[in-house]
Structure 1
Amino acid sequence: MALPVQEQVKYWGISSAVFLVALWFLGDVILPFAMGAAIAYFLDPVADRLETMGFSRAAATTVITLVALLLFVIMILAVVPTLVSQATNLIQIAPDLARDLQAFLNQRFPQLFVPDSAAHQALLAIGEQVQTRGGALLQTALTSAASLLNVVMLVVIVPVVAFYLLLDWDNMIAKINGLLPLDHAPIIRELAGQVDQTLASFVRGMGTVCLILGTYYAIALMLVGLQFGLVVGFVAGLITFIPYVGALVGGALAIGLGLFQFWGDWVSLGLVAGIFGLGQVIEGNVLTPKLVGHSVGLHPVWLIFALSVFGTLFGFVGMLIAVPVAAAIGVLVRYGADQYKLSRLYTGIAGKAAKDSDD
């Protein structure tokens, strides 16, 4: 005999509450494992493809790990030092940029600097914050996000976790499938398949889009001669998965830096703006339709809301799980809406009469 609905809601509610509490208290500890699971999920189709080519699961996982390790070493040797150097220099010259901006605005828009005006006070406050906290921001970021312990955990634990999860991914899915409650197993499998399809389209597709666009922006801006082109490309590519935000933030940052570096050289400024314009055309007409698809099921507003809520509550770990949780909730809401339209609450007497007349 199946459990009553009230009992099922109670058990699932308690399970969800325990999960959220554990996430709240163990966020920093869970981070390497969440990242490893995300990497394993991202690479599982590659392992499946290698298996169809005749590789064993262990051999496929080993090949993927060696290729990933090679790419990681190349990035460490070729990209990361330049990225860190540019980011450090950008934060160090932030006070100079603030002073130059203030001088430019004073020359072009003197009405903004009328003593005791609201605009003047706001600009002074911004300049003081940039000058006094620019270096402190870098130091805080390095202390909190790149301490020796965190670096060791991320560099050592994440690849190990990803390797073993990727090796046993199909077995884990089979085990979980065997533990599903028998009364609800078919519906759970159907909903899980929809969630997986949504995640596959978004996470794997948008991950590839972010990588392609970030590489394109970085290389193109560096070829134009923008001093911090690698940082701008990295930032723009990293947040491309948030609709429109990547292009807006990256474009504003690139054009803002270009104004200081290329003032009067309108050709270079036009090239910087054209790079982001072309990137948006390529993303909207080629990359996203081919790699992500149009029917992902994650509305931009819902995605931004989920990232904001989970990021605020649970930090970086919350942002990692925001997308799969948002996808799962979206699938459940659509399923609930479909069930509601089939219920007597929706159809009522008029719907019953229409159905009887059709019969």
Structure 2
Amino acid sequence: MDHLSPTPVGTLARRWQWLLIAVIAGWLIWLLAPVLTPFVLAALLGWLGDPLVDRLERSGRSRTIAVVLVFTLMLLLVVLALVILVPMIERQIVTLIESLPAYRDWFVQKALPWVEQRTGLELVTWLDPDKLTEWVRAHWQQAGGVAATMFGYFSRSGFAVMAWVANLVLLPILTFYFLRDWDTLVERIAALVPRDHIATVNRLALESNDVLGAFLRGQFLVMLALGAIYAIGLSVVGLKVGLLIGIIAGLISFVPYLGTATGIVLGVIAALVQSGGDWPLVAMVLGVFVAGQMLEGYVLTPRIVGDRIGLHPVAVIFSIMAGGQLFGFLGMLLALPVAAVANVLLRFAHERYKQSPLYAGDRPSILLDSYIDKGSIDQAQAREPEDK
């Protein structure tokens, strides 16, 4: 049977083959990123809804009926959120637009002079209308080139908007089919796994599914909770655009500390403009975010997300930034799933490393037999005459 065992050259060749497949897959994802975005988002929604579909199916309903029920529930939740949030956000945007002159005056009369006093830069003079007009006349040709560039950008943006509309239309259709055929897709992918690795792949897939499910579902609930806490808290303390700022801070809180930092900056600026520089409103805004962070750190994240996931905030931030840099919006969608799976693979590699000769060494571990068994040997020798 020795001729059936893989040689080192054969093992190395297979590893290079897998590496080549991974490189080609990454290149295709980068090339097809705009097209793949609705498919990836629909696959995530299908994966999130599949456990509920399976539960309904186990209760005696057919797969199609279970999928229709879960899909309808998803649509109702989206419609309910739009019906409740869109009018509120619309009123907040109107309030913000009406307050823009106050923000402009605060920026020109207070913020910029404060920066000038501490940096020595002359910033206010650049906002003089006469100076701006003179600068435009002096750079008219360049401005024409910039205008042409901007026109081309907006033309491309129009096509981008059309693509987004098409993606929004495709998203519910793709989600329905992923919900209906999710188990079939998993079975077909599992059938492609080499049989001598099926046990390891099955174990890693189950661990990745548990980690990813706990993180995404838990983080989504934490986002909703933080958005509600910030929006209600800022509105209660009297901030006019508190609802809008709270929703923004909650939505981007999936990036650790980014939601809180963004909310604090926006909230403090809005409080300074609204109160005319008085600090009580600013202090109350800061208190809302401090209370939200304490609730997240001591109540929401431990109870909803849990500590067994093992995704460090630095790893989350890096994965989102790297995914966005490499693959754009698609990369940001894939960042957290890839980070969760990579975390499981790293734990498995660490386990294999601790069991390998590279860690334990080639020599057997030293057993101190001479010290451990010396007393028992002496006792056995002393009992020999008695036994005779």
Asked whether the 8 Å contact 2:264–2:286 carries over to 1, the reply is: yes
Q: 1:172 aligns with which of 185, 199, 214?
A: 185
Q: Tell me, yes or no, if structure 1 residue 262 matches structure 2 residue 275.
A: yes
Matched, 1:216 2:249: no
220 and 46 in structure 1: CA distance in 2 versus 1, 3 angstrom threshold: farther
Is 1:343 matched with 2:349?
no
Distance 2:284 2:70 in 1: 38
TM value normalised by structure 1: 0.83
In the TM superposition, what is the alpha-carbon distance from 1:213 to its structure 2 partner? 1.5
1:50 and 2:50 aligned:
no
Q: 1:123 and 1:33 mapped to 2: Cα distance? A: 51
Return 5+ residue gaps in structure 2 as ranges: 133-149, 373-388
Check conservation: 1:86, 1:228, Cα contact below 8 A: yes
2:147 maps to what in 1?
none
Shift of 1:89: 6.8
Query: How far apart are residue 175 of structure 1 and its match?
Result: 2.2
- Rounded to whole Å, the distance in 2 between the matches of 1:57 and 1:123 is 68
CA apart distance, 1:276: 1.5
Aligned to 1:133: none
Question: Partners in 2 of 1:272 and 1:157 — Cα distance?
Answer: 41
Query: For residues 46-66 of structure 1, what are the alpha-carbon distances to aligned partners after superposition, in whole Å with 9 as ceiling and x for unaligned?
Result: 223333444333222211222
Report SS of the residue matched to 1:240: helix
How many angstroms does 1:181 deviate by? 0.6
2:5 & 2:183 partners in 1: Cα distance? 29
Write the deviation string for residues 5-48 of structure 1: whole angstroms up to 9, x where unpaired. Answer: 22221221122112211111111111111110111122222223
Aligned mates of 1:35, 1:271 — CA distance in 2: 38
Would you say 1:298 and 2:311 are equivalent positions?
A: yes
1:92-127 CA-to-partner distances (Å, cap 9, x unmatched) read: 9668635413422466676337xxx3x4459969xx
- CA shift for structure 1 position 283: 1.2
Is it true that 1:190 corresponds to 2:181 in the alignment?
no
Give the aligned partner of residue 284 of structure 1. 297
Alignment of 1:1-359 (within 5 A): 1=4, 4-83=10-89, 86=92, 90=96, 97=103, 99-105=105-111, 111-112=117-118, 117=120, 119-120=121-122, 143=157, 147-154=161-168, 156-263=169-276, 266-349=279-362, 352-354=364-366
Seen in structure 2, the aligned counterparts of structure 1 residues 93 and 175 have a Cα distance that, compared at 3 Å, is same
Task: Please say if residues 311 and 317 of structure 1, whose CA atoms lie closer than 8 Å, have aligned partners that are also in contact.
Answer: yes
Q: Which AA in structure 2 matches 1:10?
A: W
Report which of the two structures shows the higher radius of gyration computed on alpha carbons. 2
- SS of residue in 2 equivalent to 1:295: coil
Q: For residue 353 of structure 1, what is the amino acid of its counterpart?
A: S
Amino acid at match of 1:218: A
Q: 1:236 to 1:354 in 2, by over 3 A?
A: farther
Aligned to 1:132: none
Structure 1 residue 269 displacement after superposition: 3.0
CA distance in 2, matches of 1:158, 1:356: 66
| CA shift in 2, pair 1:13/1:106, >3 Å | closer
Distance across 1 between alignment mates of 2:157 and 2:236: 33
Can you list the C-alpha shifts for 1:180-217, whole angstroms capped at 9, x where unaligned? 11111111111112211210121111011112211332
Distance 1:181 1:326, change over 3 A: same
Cα distance, 1:274 vs structure 2: 2.2
Distance change (3 Å), C-alpha of 1:175 and 1:275: same
What is the number of equivalent residue pairs in this alignment? 343
SS in 2 for 1:79: helix
**1:24 and 1:211 mapped to 2: Cα distance?**
31
Q: Which amino acid aligns with 2:196?
A: D
Q: Tell me the distance in 1 between the aligned counterparts of 2:303 and 2:159.
A: 35
Determine the C-alpha separation between the residues in 1 that align with 2:282 and 2:60: 52
Q: Distance in 1 between matches of 2:332 and 2:95?
A: 28
